[in-house]
Chain A
């Protein structure tokens, strides 16, 4: 083959495959869609409220009365009131709510991170074990699945008690977060480790590669996209786990504690609970986004459009 033929083929390949629309376009589109959806949500939220108020919180459809009081100001505050509550002190002479919540976010995020790491490591180790020992996998996997059918709310108090007994109650919340985190990591990582194309594995056999080399140079890299899917699920699960874990923990601070408090005094100020819930949601989104950015930096071997 001649050089010119090589460069011709390369030009075609580059044009056909490598040069995709620059990624700024697609991320700009994503941003627009996100903003559009947010705007639609605001419209629906405030629209429902305005509609209900105009109808005195009751409409009749085909002779049936429908109660619309759930859309009144105490059940579903105005978004502007929720935003405003962030800048008012939650306690007399205290700091504004957002400042107080930042402390809670820090506490919860720390527990979530600990749970994420702990659950990630346990989930990963289980997946590697299961991938290599079929019998172990068949024996243990049902229990792993069963562990997730037990409601976390039932287990959380027990974990708090156990860790309290051994003087490690500060770890209880992280362990509860880990309980929700390890499962997706195990399932997705396991799938990535075992779903290796046959010929990719046979290639290793033609090199007489060891099991460890196959794990390290084939199974693990093959599992990376699935591992990131798992970590994205785990990131939000760990935040949820940390918040739920705080409820029975008797901890002093954290988003879960704040939610508990503002729910107890809900009638005094509904917007505070809503504001806290939104902040909790933002924390989950933030964590998720960080993982997604890391994924983009690590997984460079796929065309932009093949993203999940």
Chain B
């Protein structure tokens, strides 16, 4: 499998207006293979968003190497290799739902009839086919975020970068969205997802690998391979292995080592 994201020796420091320096990321090494579903988890301020934005070439690292699809992140952005989903849906108020989904296709000069049919298809995928002509203010938060996912999928990028997309949703809606996302991911063969969250349950439920980060400076504390069977569903959350994985991630977040680690079906390793 080809390496989709390859990060080595990455550092990022922010210099605040008052001259103080924040070490947002330090010594990050991360390799993500095609088709993986990787979650980045860690306490607020540990640099998850910063790492994702660096992958997306929205900000530049202070030092280190970032390769996306084997090329510089900036080139991958110009080649429209990835779709990005923001924490808030970031829909354009003045566009109807379908016009929001068509936005990237307009920017990328798709022919008009293709734009429309593709957007309808994507809206159907996120089960919002009946809401094409609504304006964003007429939708609930969960529906808005689904529109933004449809928008990110519309031009069929092979990589999805998602920054806490369901962070603002209630637990029930979030679980439903998780299932929907897994369904989309498994139906689009070979898509790689990098998913930022601070929910342990969400990270374990979704991912093939959970990258646990620690703050000040932001580092990768541990990565946990999640070997739960797929397709996953409500019964997954009742499995013993599911509990073991969540407790592994919880301990990795706290920096303690649980007794269950040895009995876990998969090894966890510190990569620092």
Seen from chain A, the residues whose Cβ lies within 8 Å of a Cβ on chain B are 1, 3, 5-6, 9-10, 12-14, 16-18, 197, 199-200, 202-209, 213, 217-218, 221-222, 224, 299-303
Number of CB contacts from chain A to chain B under 8 A = 84
Q: Given the complex of chains A and B, what is the CA–CA distance between A229 and B154 in angstroms?
A: 35
Q: Given the complex of chains A and B, what is the CA–CA distance between A115 and B80 in angstroms?
A: 45
Q: Given the complex of chains A and B, what is the CA–CA distance between A200 and B136 in angstroms?
A: 14
- Top 7 closest pairs, chain A to chain B, by CB: A13-B140, A206-B84, A207-B107, A221-B94, A18-B138, A301-B135, A199-B90
Are B90 and A203 in touch, CB under 8 angstroms? yes
25 chain-A/chain-B pairs, Cβ below 8 angstroms: A1-B179, A6-B127, A6-B128, A9-B142, A12-B140, A17-B140, A18-B134, A199-B90, A200-B90, A202-B58, A202-B84, A203-B84, A203-B90, A205-B77, A206-B58, A206-B77, A207-B80, A207-B103, A208-B77, A208-B80, A217-B103, A217-B106, A301-B94, A301-B137, A302-B93
The verdict on B139 contacting chain A, using a C-beta distance below 8 Å, is yes
Are A13 and B138 in touch, CB under 8 angstroms? yes
Contacts A6-B128, A17-B139, A217-B107 supplied; 8 other A-B pairs, CB < 8 Å:
A9-B140, A9-B142, A17-B138, A202-B84, A207-B108, A208-B107, A301-B135, A302-B137
The verdict on B113 contacting chain A, using a C-beta distance below 8 Å, is no
Chain A residues whose C-beta falls within 8 Å of the C-beta of B78 in the assembled complex: 208
Min CB distance A15 to B, Å, is: 11
Q: Which residue of B lies closest to A207 (CB)?
A: B107
Chain B residues whose C-beta falls within 8 Å of the C-beta of A18 in the assembled complex: 134, 138
Q: Given the complex of chains A and B, what is the CA–CA distance between A222 and B173 in angstroms?
A: 30
Interchain CB contact (< 8 A) of B127 among A1, A207, A221, A302:
A1
Chain A residues whose C-beta falls within 8 Å of the C-beta of B139 in the assembled complex: 13, 17
The verdict on B242 contacting chain A, using a C-beta distance below 8 Å, is no
Q: Which residue of A lies closest to B151 (CB)?
A: A203
Are B56 and A13 in touch, CB under 8 angstroms? no
